[in-house]
Amino acid sequence: MLPIPGTARTRADSPSTPPDVAVLTWPDDTAEYLALGRAGRPRLLLVPTGAAPPDDWDELTDWMREPIDEREFNARIRKLRRVAERTVPPHLDEHDVLWRASRWVPLAPVEARLMAVLIDRRGIVVPRRDLTRAAWPGGSPAERSVDNRLAQLRDRIEPLGLRIRCVRRRGLVLECG
């Protein structure tokens, strides 16, 4: 393990490094960098003085030149974690809690039934009648009940980076941004 300059810690025991962000030395760890990239893992590359930085990288990669400033190191780790969380699809658990990475919101049973349909068809327009049937199986709600519930649901899921968009005269679509 390489020490983080200016500290007595190594990268492996740095409390600011979440386990899901790989900290690698460039270009020495190129093979591991590529393998982790294929697996969708976020990576922070440490580039020694005098070495050329990578020519190409994706949104789950960042790099910084050594010697390392701990505040910058921590900021880049936090940024990579936020970006990585946006790539995680949402899911509902058995208690009607909507999860997205480590963030969650509790949902009412009707909201959970609406979200289940939207999650199952993520990125696809869902007709309003399908949402109404899912939210109120075996019953017929008031005319605007689904609109009222969707308005509440939109507010609840926004902190998770999720949006429900209306596609005029077609239905609704869940966007994960």
pLDDT per residue over 115-137, tens digit each? 999 999 988 999 998 999 999 88
Same domain, 30 and 98: no
For 87, the 3-state DSSP assignment is coil
| pTM of the entire predicted model | 0.62
pLDDT per residue over 60-89, tens digit each? 999 999 999 999 999 999 999 888 887 778
Any domain includes 158: yes
The count of structural domains within the chain is: 2
Range of 125's domain?
91-176
Same domain, 152 and 165: yes
- From 54, 86, 118, the end of a domain falls on 86
What value does the CA radius of gyration of the chain take, rounded to a whole number of Å? 22
Calculate the alpha carbon distances from 24 to 30, 31, 146 in Å. 8, 10, 49
Any domain includes 4: no
